[in-house]
Amino acid sequence: MIKHKNQRVAVLIDVQNMYYSARNLYGRKVNFREILKTAVSNRKLIRAVAYVIRTEGGEEKSFWEALSRIGIEIKMKDLQIFPGGLKKGDWDVGLAVDAIKFSDYLDAIVLVTGDGDFVPLVEYIKSARPAQIEIIAFGRTTSGKLKEMADDFVDLDQQPEKYLIK
């Protein structure tokens, strides 16, 4: 795995996955500023995108503003509520499409997620595109196959104090 200052990088953040992992493991919130610094690693950041779900209450507005202030672009979808009360909100396909598009002209794609649903995406990019794939997530909630497939894996469980908000 090569990291050098001329590498062009995109950081794609699965916010729901990171939020629930941090909450379930530590009862805390994620420090996305530190994650972004680690992801970029003194390389050239071309795009940083957070994929978020808008809930009925809209209480996450200040969180989105905080992400924007640190240079993260927000892509938003409404929470879907089905008859019977089932709620669904995920960005897997949107994130995957962006990763494929970016992998044509960037050197590295950093996926901030532990979701095993992204294994086929990583396999595809590694077989058909020039970009390397890096994963940043909490190791204890990350798919083993996803870790194995990545060119690099940063385990946030190794330094939780750095990557969580007190």
- pLDDT tens by residue, 83-127: 877 766 778 899 999 999 999 999 999 999 999 999 999 999 999
Q: Is 1 among the domain residues?
A: no
Residue ranges of alpha helices (H) inside the chain are 15-26, 32-40, 61-69, 92-103, 119-128, 144-149, 160-163
Average the pLDDT over each of 31-45, 69-83, 120-134, 149-163 and give the range with the smallest value: 69-83
The pLDDT tens digits for 128-156 are 988 999 999 999 999 999 999 999 999 99
Looking at residue 1, its pLDDT comes to: 66
Nearest CA among 23, 18, 29, 1 for reference residue 95: 18
Number of domains composing the chain:
1
Q: What is the domain extent for residue 57? A: 8-165
**CB contact at 8 A, 116 and 145:** yes
Q: Is residue 3 part of a domain?
A: no
Task: Residue 48: give its domain's CATH number.
Answer: 3.40.50.1010
